[in-house]
Amino acid sequence: MSLLVVGSVALDDIESPSGARTGVLGGAACYFALAASYFVPVRAVGVVGDDFPKEHLDFLRARGIDVEGIYTSPGKTFRWGGRYRDSLNVRDTLFTELGVFDGFKPKLGDAHRASDFVFLANIHPALQLDVLGQVRSPMFNAMDTMNFWIEGTPAELKKTLGQVQCLIINDEEARQLTGEHNLVRAAAGIRELGPRIVVIKRGEHGALLFDEEGVFMAPAFPLEEVQDPTGAGDTFAGGFMGSLARERFVGSETLRRAMIFGSTLASFCVEEFGVDRMRTLEMGEIYARYSLFRSLTRF
């Protein structure tokens, strides 16, 4: 099974109560690909500027990620800066410098067009639809979005939602998209727009899955120390899609296992800054924590 992700590749500046880092590897496509790479071969598609350090691509390659689809354009790599308040629940975006990401026009090669699983990370909904049209006959596709597109391009977003099987979104965005505060009603509203599967991420409160079987809840793993929540959502999506792709089947049981793998990967991501935890994380640790999830909720 091959898994394709299209999205941002970034250099991030991050400040949290635990410290600060500048120019670290980030972007939705990177967090997603790193998490998913524990399960299946991943192909990442994105754009970087000519200032992008080669060592970052080497790291992605070392995790078995195909980076052929990350092309270099003359100019600056997308840069994003965020600062977390003491609670870690509130994040202020300090800056967003699009650089070459502004002209991002994903053009898939032959191998990429044959991908079985596709994840459209947070990019313009018209681009998401264009990418989807380029993939020949994916077995399963899913997308993310953000408040910027919900407010700015609602018609294009609805058109794209009409073509995807799964939306993975955070709670505030689900409310904004549907005008429903209640998440059960919000998920039902999203399902009416197209996706038959809706995953609503709730940060430290876990994630909810809505499908034909009803609702399933995955807790967030209770951690004693969180250093940096950046990328937890994309990492969740990577674990979720990677697990599904490895099982080669999307059904109520595989979806529920995927929710727990998503939560597991996200819980590791926040333990260190940026993608650093993925530099040392081993599959054995993932399985051990996945098993602990059982004891968290069994009674």
Residue 286, classed as helix, strand or coil, is helix
> Which residue, 195 or 238, has its beta carbon nearer to ligand AMP?
238
* Greatest C-alpha distance within the chain: 57
> Which residue, 80 or 221, has its beta carbon nearer to ligand AMP?
80
Partnered with residue 93 across adjacent β-strands are: 82
Footprint (CB under 6 A) of ligand AMP, residues 12-31: 12, 26-28
Owner of token pair 């313009």: 124
Q: Report the residue from 231, 238, 242, 262 that binds ligand AMP according to the rule CB under 6 A.
A: 231
Binding part of the chain for ligand AMP, among 39-47, 206-214, 226-234, 247-255 by CB under 6 A, reads 226-234
Binding part of the chain for ligand AMP, among 6-14, 132-140, 155-163, 248-256 by CB under 6 A, reads 6-14
Q: Per rule CB under 6 A, is residue 10 in the interface with ligand AMP?
A: yes
Q: Report the residue from 115, 145, 227, 230 that binds ligand AMP according to the rule CB under 6 A.
A: 230
Alpha-carbon separation of residue 122 from 18, 142, 241 (angstroms): 27, 11, 15
**Residue least distant from ligand AMP (Cβ):** 26
Helix residue ranges per DSSP H, the chain: 28-36, 54-62, 110-113, 125-134, 147-152, 154-161, 171-178, 183-193, 232-247, 252-269, 283-297
Q: Per rule CB under 6 A, is residue 128 in the interface with ligand AMP?
A: no
> Which residue, 26 or 99, has its beta carbon nearer to ligand AMP?
26
Alpha-carbon separation of residue 105 from 30, 41, 126, 127, 275 (angstroms): 18, 23, 11, 7, 25
**Residues engaged in binding ligand AMP (CB under 6 A):** 8, 10, 12, 26-28, 80, 96, 122, 230-234
